[in-house]
Structure 1
Amino acid sequence: MEKVVVSFGDALLRSSDVALLDPPHWLNDNIIGFTFEFLSSSLPPLQAQQVSFLSPEVSQFIKCCGNEASDFLEPLDLPSKELVLIPVNDNTGPEAGGTHWSLLAYVRRYTVFLHYDSSPGTNAPHARLMAKNLDVLLGGKQNYREEDAPVQHNSYDCGMYVVCVAEALSEQHLHGHDSMFLRNITPQFVTQKRVKWKEIIKGLSCKSLSHNLQV
């Protein structure tokens, strides 16, 4: 069986998942799920109550199951969140897969869904469907808007742009910024983030191995 590199919260990464952080690979559900889990766990306590990072599995369920998702999502208490970050995939089925990632953000103070797509227009139908399904849970008063987003310059970095934009929006919420500027997310920045996430995973893996050796 393939080696497990790290287990973190609800996320589990194998060596083939971690290898996707090397260009020119697309990120899969497992890597994005891990990064969202890690970012969520890194939030200060107060912000952790205000911000929700949804996993790719949950977001795909929202898109595919429509109104049926409401009961399933109730324990997440999304109506109380100030910011909800949702990865969007162009896959039309319930299983993992697809060829393009983008990010949908619900911002409570503005009662709006903001869609950030590094390949503008590609995932708009999927994001709109997801927003429509979530709107029922959030009271049916939300607007939807396509936002200017950092644009990928290759065919494989869409998932990394999702991770980078989600992290930036979370940080801006933490510091109370109203304007969500994403100018720092350049192609070079995204490439560096691939390396950074590999370092984070390596650190967690070494820490876990050290703990197991001490037990």
Structure 2
Amino acid sequence: MDQVVLSYGDSLLRSSDVALLDAPHWLNDNIIGFTFEFLASTLPPSTAERVALLSPEVSQFIKCCGNDAQEFLQPLELPKKDLVLLPVNDNAGTEAGGTHWSLLAYLRSMREILHFDSAPGTNAPHARLMSKNLSSLLVGNPCYREEATPAQHNSYDCGMYVVCVAQALCEQYFRGCNNLNLQNITPTYVTQKRTEWKDIIRGLGNHSKATGGH
């Protein structure tokens, strides 16, 4: 039985989702959506209001709908954000899903939209389209750039690299946006993070049970 393991904000994780944190599995939309929501909730309040971590569903909507997304996304107040992070997928349809993840990051102070792809070039067409549509929602028409990214050494860790880079950007950007350092995101580090995220989910699930949550 694929039971519910955790209900957290807008995220609902089942046992089949959490199992994807064991190698050699790809992360799905549910896990990436949860990690982004959790990262956002753990930022200091003064930082959190300046950051937007968008779910895979919203990111795919931006990629596919272009200018039609403006009214729908207005409540997110993206033009006011200093850092906007979006998971990119190679799915060409309107639904979430696909076979490869990468990360798009709008950095307001640098006036750039950076693409972090752990398999360089794989998602470039999708990232460029998403960047074009995203820039129409922002101020100042930021330019697009492919950014050097730690490389995955297997066929299944792309989603974990997205999560790790997103976490690093959240931690580092407001300390000094010109000094982003991703060197610690190694294959060993990524493997370790799989275990850490399982522990986070388990801890939240146990806390929810203990307090009578759902």
Measured against the shorter chain, the TM-score band is over 0.9
Partners of 1:69 and 1:140 lie apart in 2 by 18
Partners of 1:126 and 1:212 lie apart in 2 by 42
Compute the RMSD of aligned alpha carbons: 1.3
Partners of 1:140 and 1:180 lie apart in 2 by 22
Other-structure match for 2:35? 35
After TM superposition, the score normalised by the length of structure 1 is: 0.97
Tell whether 2:78 aligns with 1:78. Answer: yes
Give the superposition deviation at 1:96.
2.4
Partner SS, residue 94 of structure 1: coil
Aligned length: 214
Other-structure match for 1:109? 109
Q: Would you identify which runs of 4 or more consecutive aligned residues in structure 1 move more than 2 Å? A: 174-178
Other-structure match for 1:45? 45
Partner SS, residue 5 of structure 2: strand
Give the superposition deviation at 1:161.
0.1
Give the superposition deviation at 1:187.
0.2
Partners of 1:180 and 1:204 lie apart in 2 by 30
Give the superposition deviation at 1:94.
1.2
Partners of 2:123 and 2:107 lie apart in 1 by 19
Partner SS, residue 137 of structure 1: coil
Question: Partner amino acid for 1:116?
Answer: F
Give the superposition deviation at 1:175.
2.7
Give the superposition deviation at 1:139.
3.3
Partner deviation per Cα, 1:13-55 (whole Å, 9 max, x = no partner): 0000000000000000000000000000000010001111000
User: Would the aligned equivalents of 2:152 and 2:158 in 1 still touch at CA under 8 Å?
Assistant: yes
Partner SS, residue 149 of structure 1: coil
After TM superposition, the score normalised by the length of structure 2 is: 0.97
Other-structure match for 1:18? 18
Give the superposition deviation at 1:209.
0.7
Other-structure match for 1:98? 98
Give the superposition deviation at 1:137.
1.1
Give the superposition deviation at 1:202.
0.3
Query: Which blocks of at least 5 consecutive residues in structure 1 are unaligned?
Result: none
Question: Partner amino acid for 1:207?
Answer: H
Question: Partner amino acid for 2:169?
Answer: L
Question: Partner amino acid for 1:81?
Answer: K
C-alpha spacing 1:82/1:140, structure 2 compared with 1 (3 Å): closer
